[in-house]
Structure 1
Amino acid sequence: MLASHAHPSSFETAADLASPVAHAAPFAQASEVDSARLLHGQRELLIRHGNEVYRLRHTRNDKLILTK
């Protein structure tokens, strides 16, 4: 007799199945945002990701550096 609910595969956990990200298309096109729009004329931006804070810096050599 087959169970009426699906079990996670060896690559999926119950948390993965509950996450909306788990159901996203595997090759979905990434959104593009201009760095000037993020930085608003500043040289540095702090980005909170969960419990961590990252620093996005615009260098004098016109590069972007993201550090934790």
Structure 2
Amino acid sequence: MNEAPEPNQADTVSVPNASPDLAAPVLDSARLLNGQREVLIRHQGQLYRLQHTRNDRLILTK
């Protein structure tokens, strides 16, 4: 049986062209969107929109 990761647990992946000891966390899009088709992300005072399209793609726009 496949179990979902714990809420505070995240996978990591190596970042290309970065030092070998750096790893980036992996966030599942379904968890990030939390059942919504879009979310707003605030970054350095600017708002960005992350949309899940009907074609099952993700679009990030400013």
TM-score tier, shorter chain, comes to 0.5 to 0.7
Higher helix fraction (1 or 2): 1
- Per the normalisation by structure 1, the TM-score is 0.60
- Per the normalisation by structure 2, the TM-score is 0.66
- Identity percentage of aligned residues: 65
* Superposition pairs of residues 1-68 of structure 1, within 5 angstroms: 26-27=18-19, 28-68=22-62
Q: Which of structure 1's runs of 4+ aligned residues deviate more than 3 A?
A: none
Higher strand fraction (1 or 2): 2
Aligned-residue RMSD, C-alpha: 0.9
Residues paired across the two proteins, number? 43
